[in-house]
Amino acid sequence: MGETMEAPRGKTLKLLLLVLNCAMLSLGTCGGPLLMRLYFVHGGARVWLSSWLETGGWPIIFVPLAVAYSRRHAAEGPSTRLVLMDPFLFVASAIIGVLTGLDNYLYAYGVARLPVSTSALLIAPQLAFTAGFAFLLVRQLFTSYSINSVFLLTIGAGVLAMHTSSDRPEGESNRQYYAGFVMTLGAAALYGFILPLVELTYKKAKQAITYSLVLEMQLVMCFFATAFCTIGMLVNKDFQAICREARNFELGEARYYVVLVWNAIIWQFFFLGAIGVVFYSSSLFSGIVIAVLLPVTEILAVICFQEKFQAEKGVSLALSLWGFASYFYGEFKHAKKEKKQRQQQQETEARQQGLP
């Protein structure tokens, strides 16, 4: 992640923190789409409101920030800085935040128009976009296995595109369905760009990147994403419609607000987990975790909402799983090769040191 980055004390701690962030990312990846779809299925219709909820829970970040500050204060004493972020990181985080707000809208529009089991499969090519942008921005290396994975994930999305009529929700036109289809793919592409952009920001930073600083960056990103969606809500008059929509919500007015609140909370788990995985590993690994969980999200959607699971979805799911397996196998072989090379290098150095 760069020479300036402050590593956690010991590999065990780093692994534990990576696992914790993977768990948060898993909860957000599976729970966020289901709660968002629950809102739309039972009478919700505000896309800007749903996109706002994806980052609207940003004040939650103050909790881990306060814990991180107290730990720094205990170690550094009265000289502890309250804010670590410099102007460069603030501006970069603000720009990424606006892009995140746009991505939120694209994704929420897709979930409003498509069953979760379909939108989950359409998000699968995000791994391909993440890999491509990671190669361009942070020089992430490609292998024949990762290229095969990208190809399979792309074909999987194409299979869904060719068979859409049987999957269209009742009362929805072909135009609305295709718009949701395109918007969801756009969201996958944009977030596939955002993750490597975050990693690039880490690399270009002129100060040590600690987890406290990562939390500050995430706070700024979520704030600007929420501000972007707030403008959309104001223009679309969503704030005035909330009370009326709550009264007509099929699950009841009280549960309407419960759904909204939990939407905001669960999505924060997603963003905190994603940014944490990028910090402790890489943007590509974050994309992999998201991609691996998409079939789980799809199965949960079929169970929770009794969504149809047609043959084309089965083919698309099989291609996606094949793509994931191809990528993981390639990474396993690459790691094994690197380990062997390191061992050979160490043996060579040991022999050289033993020479008279």
Cα–Cα distance, 331 to 149 (Å, whole number):
11
| Tokens 């060579």, residue located | 348
Measured distance CA(287)–CA(277) in Å, rounded: 9
Q: Which long-range contacts (CB under 8 A, 24 or more apart) does 59-62 make?
A: 60/265, 60/268, 61/215, 61/218, 61/219, 61/222, 61/268, 61/272, 62/219
Which pLDDT value is given to residue 263?
Answer: 95
**Residue 2 has what DSSP assignment?**
-
* Tokens of residue 43, six digits: 């009478």
Q: What is the distance in angstroms between the CA of the first residue and the CA of the last residue of the chain?
A: 39
Q: What percent of the chain has pLDDT over 90?
A: 33
90 versus 336: the higher-pLDDT residue is 90
Q: pLDDT-based confidence at 142, cuts 50/70/90?
A: low
Average pLDDT, rounded, for the chain: 83
Instruction: Identify whether the C-beta of residue 209 lies closer than 8 Å to the C-beta of residue 6.
Output: yes
Give the tens place of pLDDT for each residue, 68-98: 889 888 888 888 888 889 999 999 999 999 9
User: Per-residue confidence at 4, pLDDT binned at 50, 70, 90?
Assistant: very low
Predicted confidence (pLDDT) per residue in 309-325, tens digit: 677 777 777 877 787 77
Task: Name the residue ranges covered by the structural domains of the chain.
Answer: 17-345
**Which residue blocks in the chain are alpha helix, DSSP H?**
11-41, 47-55, 62-76, 87-113, 116-123, 126-138, 144-162, 174-204, 211-236, 238-247, 253-280, 283-305, 311-354
> What's the pLDDT band for 58 if we cut at 50, 70, 90?
very high
Which H or E run contains 210?
none
Q: What percent of the chain has pLDDT over 70?
A: 87
DSSP-derived secondary structure for 118-162: HHHHHHTTHHHHHHHHHHHHH-PPP-HHHHHHHHHHHHHHHHHHH
Torsion over CA of 15, 17, 23 and 28, rounded to 10 degrees? -140
- Quick: pLDDT tens for 265-305: 999 999 888 888 888 877 777 777 777 777 778 778 878 88
Instruction: Assess whether pLDDT exceeds 90 at residue 49.
Output: yes
Query: Which has the higher per-residue pLDDT, 150 or 251?
Result: 251
Asked whether residue 56 carries a pLDDT value surpassing 90, the answer given is: yes
Q: What does the pLDDT read at residue 160? A: 63
Q: What angle, 0 to 180 degrees and rounded to 10, lies between the N-to-C axes of helices 211-236 and 62-76?
A: 150
- pLDDT tens, 339-352? 788 788 877 777 77
pLDDT the model gives residue 171: 62
Per-residue pLDDT tens over the stretch 130-139: 777 877 776 6
Q: Over range 247-257, report the average pLDDT.
A: 94
pLDDT for res 311: 73
Say which residue, 306 or 356, is predicted with more confidence.
Answer: 306
pTM score of the predicted model: 0.80
- What's the rounded Cα separation, in Å, for the pair 234 and 244? 16
333, pLDDT greater than 70: yes
Q: Which of 4-18, 168-182, 211-225, 266-280 has the highest mean pLDDT?
A: 211-225
Q: What is the mean pLDDT of residues 163-178?
A: 66
Residue 9 has pLDDT above 60, yes or no: no
Tokens representing residue 70 in the block: 């107290």
Q: Which of 111-120, 124-133, 153-162 has the highest mean pLDDT?
A: 111-120
Q: What is the pLDDT of residue 7?
A: 43
Instruction: Tell me the average pLDDT across 251-260.
Output: 95
Q: Which residues contact 276 (CB under 8 A, 6 or more apart)?
A: 17, 18, 20, 21, 24, 25, 211, 214
Q: Which of 49-58, 182-191, 311-320 has the weakest average pLDDT? A: 311-320
